[in-house]
Amino acid sequence: MAPAALVVALLASACGRVPQDAGGTLAQVERGVMRVGVMHDPPYVVLQEGRPPSGPECDLVMALAQARHTRVEWVRGGQAGLLRQVGALQLDLVVGAYHAVPPGQPSVAWSREYRLNRRAGTARRQLALPPGEHAWQLAVDGFLFARSRPELRRTGVL
């Protein structure tokens, strides 16, 4: 092996997994549970008593869970509480209506924008993610990018 290649290989092996999560979200999801905050936001997210959340944004979350080989644990709530929980790394992502983050809320990260196609038109949406969880954000954004590519679409979700 050439000396330059050896140096690059040694440096790469010393770095470990890049990017990394400060709180280990991707590793926690890969252990089998994705904790998802969900709020009522028809027609994208529909919450009914005694039934699992439904709607195209919930379908998207279920497809992400399937791609990550994990199950979804839904946590119902209001905007302020769910954003506080994702900001405190207690949730892995949040779906639903959040038009503006209220003052005093902990910071959250945002996924890349994705579009939900509905009869009434296309809605531009984002997922709220825990801040500082770079590996998890890359995994979610990569999934959303792949779903947005017409040649990669498998369902009518995106």
CATH number of the domain residue 56 falls in: 3.40.190.10
Please, which pLDDT band fits residue 6 given cuts at 50, 70 and 90? very low
In a domain, 53, yes or no: yes
In a domain, 122, yes or no: yes
Q: What is the pLDDT of residue 46?
A: 94
Tokens of 152: 């990669």
Q: Using one digit for the tens of pLDDT, what is the confidence trace for 52-109?
A: 999 999 999 999 999 999 999 999 999 889 999 999 999 999 998 766 666 666 688 9
Domain of 137? 22-152
What distance in Å separates the CA atoms of residue 76 and residue 108, rounded to the nearest whole number?
Answer: 18
User: Do residues 114 and 147 make contact, with C-beta atoms less than 8 angstroms apart?
Assistant: yes
User: Do residues 38 and 78 make contact, with C-beta atoms less than 8 angstroms apart?
Assistant: no
